[in-house]
Amino acid sequence: MAEPFSEFVQRQLATIQTEGLLRKRRLVEPLGEGRCRLNGRELWDFSSNDYHGLANHREVIAAACESTRTHGLGARASVLISGWTPAHQALRDQLATFEAVEDVLLCSSGYAACQGAIAALVKPGDLVFCDRLNHACLIDGCRLSGGSLRVFRHSELDALERQLQKFQSHQGRRWIVTETVFGMDGVLAPLARLVELAEQYDATIICDEAHATGVYGSTGQGAVTELRESGHCDADLINRRIAVRVGTLSKSLGSQGGFVAGSAALIQLLWNTARPLMFSTGLSVAACGGAAAAIRILQDDPDRCSRLRKSSVEFRQTLRDAGLTLLGDSDSPIVSVVLEDPDRTMNWASELEVAGFLVGAIRPPTVPHNTARLRISLSSVHSPDVLNELTQVLLKLHETSHV
Ligand SMILES: *Cc1c(COP(=O)(O)O)cnc(C)c1O
């Protein structure tokens, strides 16, 4: 007889606990303006991916309510049946213009968009070159696709090139899958070089812009747009090699859901082949209305993105000058302070909490061994004074830890 189900569950939980990997949810009450309440205390929230505080923005909330009043809350069916409402159509049109593409598809999460698109496009016999730090949804998509997965060390393009060379005469298609801003490190992918390598070795790039949307590009269109706008890379080359761009509505846009931006033919193909899109209910109407308002806000105030990035550069510089170890040279709002030891990381996080700041404490296996870190996410709603206070607390922790 099989082990009773309840014992089976308990035994697995016990294993996770013994390994020190048991995670727990905490009740966090968002208060807006970059603040939250945790355990009865109000804190500055430096842990969210809502880089402009748009989830609590008055106009975003009003738009989500208004679209819900007009069209109802849920989509009621898969998009292919009847789950595509005027709210979806309006967001689609707006996102296609924003991202300067022919078409955009919308689905219920960024996770589903990435996993679904990759699994639908990559075929058995294809080769997929994946950065080692790629998000789980990209890895899952590759695994589901039946393509053969080749992992290269994070942003080490010499290693990637050697692999591309080795498989130059491979029969199937070659893909390169990457995040444009790596979510746990806060650093940009070397996109220009990736595009050149893709051209040289005839590979097609799939980009996940989850942490780049709302941060890079003149009004937050993402890192691919930023590369195009920079003039450092030929626009035709970018368009030819970066065939698929996936983004999320759930981070900078303060809403919920995922999208894929590309050619009309690509989007039509994905609606017909990507299973999480075909067999899941359409994105909620409220999420559509909210995301549409968030994009308008970013377009009306492009300074938001540059302000956020400027404060990131200054914050990083101060921490570096004081001797703290940061990951990468970047201006993204994700600032990773590497403390290496998981216990030390947890201690610093609780000290910061006592001082009034909520930050992410990230340990293996989410990040590689010996790279436990504080993941501090800045937001354009935090004032320079607040950021300065946080800096002082961090510097103090650093000083005392060296005595
Ligand atoms: C958050 C994230 C996703 C998932 O997006 P959701 O909309 O939260 O499902 C996908 N890829 C990356 C790189 C992410 O950071």
List pLDDT tens digits, range 182-232: 999 999 999 999 999 999 999 999 999 999 999 999 999 999 999 999 998
Q: Are 154 and 131 in contact (CB under 8 A)?
A: yes
Q: Are strands 357-362 and 372-377 parallel, antiparallel or unpaired?
A: antiparallel
Q: How far is CA 168 from CA 128, 130, 163, 206, 207, in A?
A: 13, 17, 9, 19, 22
Q: In this structure, are residues 266 and 244 in contact, taking their beta carbons and an 8 Å threshold?
A: yes
Per-residue pLDDT, averaged over 160-189, amounts to 95
Q: What is the pLDDT of residues 337-359, one digit of tens each?
A: 999 999 999 999 999 999 999 99
The predicted model gives 258-267 an average pLDDT of 98
Across 268-273, average pLDDT: 98
Residue nearest to atom 7 of ligand 1 (CA): 110
Nearest CA to ligand 1 atom 1: 210
Residues 118, 253: contact at Cβ < 8 Å? no
Closest residue by CA, ligand 1 atom 2: 210
110 Cα: distance to centroid of ligand 1 (angstroms): 5
Q: What integer pLDDT is reported at residue 22 of this predicted model?
A: 83
On average, the pLDDT of the chain sits at: 96
Rounded CA separation 139/134 (Å)? 7
Q: pLDDT tens digits for 129-156?
A: 999 999 999 999 999 999 999 999 998 9
Predicted confidence band at 401 (pLDDT cuts at 50, 70, 90)?
confident
Tens of pLDDT, residues 30-61: 999 999 999 999 999 999 999 999 999 999 99
* Nearest to 337, CA basis, from 51, 178, 352: 352
What is residue 205's predicted lDDT score, i.e. its pLDDT? 98
pTM (predicted TM-score): 0.95
Asked if residue 58 lies in contact with residue 79, where contact means CB atoms within 8 angstroms, the answer is no
User: d(Cα 214, Cα 249) in Å, to the nearest integer?
Assistant: 10
Q: Read off the pLDDT of each residue in 74-90 and give the average, rounded to a whole number.
A: 97
Are the C-beta atoms of residues 363 and 351 closer than 8 Å to each other? no
User: Ligand 1, atom 14: nearest CA belongs to which residue?
Assistant: 210
pLDDT value at residue 6:
97
Residue 403: pLDDT band with limits 50, 70, 90? low
Token pair for 47:
């842990």
Q: What is the pLDDT of residue 15?
A: 93
Sign of the dihedral defined by the CA atoms of residues 259, 264, 267, 271, in that order = positive
Ligand 1, atom 5: closest residue by C-alpha: 110
Q: For each of the domains in the chain, give its residue range(s) and CATH number, in order of start.
A: 26-51+302-401 (3.90.1150.10), 58-300 (3.40.640.10)
For residue 257, give the ligand 1 atom closest to its CA.
7
Please check the confidence at residue 7 and state whether its pLDDT lies above 80.
Answer: yes
- pLDDT for 20 equals 77
Q: CB within 6 Å of ligand 1 — which residues?
A: 109-111, 114, 135, 137, 179, 183, 208, 210-211, 248, 250, 258
Q: Annotate 360-380 with b (16+ C-beta within 10 A) or e (fewer).
A: bbbbeeebeeebbbbbbbbbb
Rounded distance between C-alpha atoms, residue 262 and residue 35, angstroms: 36
- Exposure letters 245-268 (e unless 16+ CB within 10 A, then b): bbbbbbbbbbbbbbbbbbeeebbe
Mutation test residue for ligand 1: of 154, 246, 250, the one with most atoms within 8 Å of CB: 250
Ligand 1 midpoint to CA 142 (Å): 15
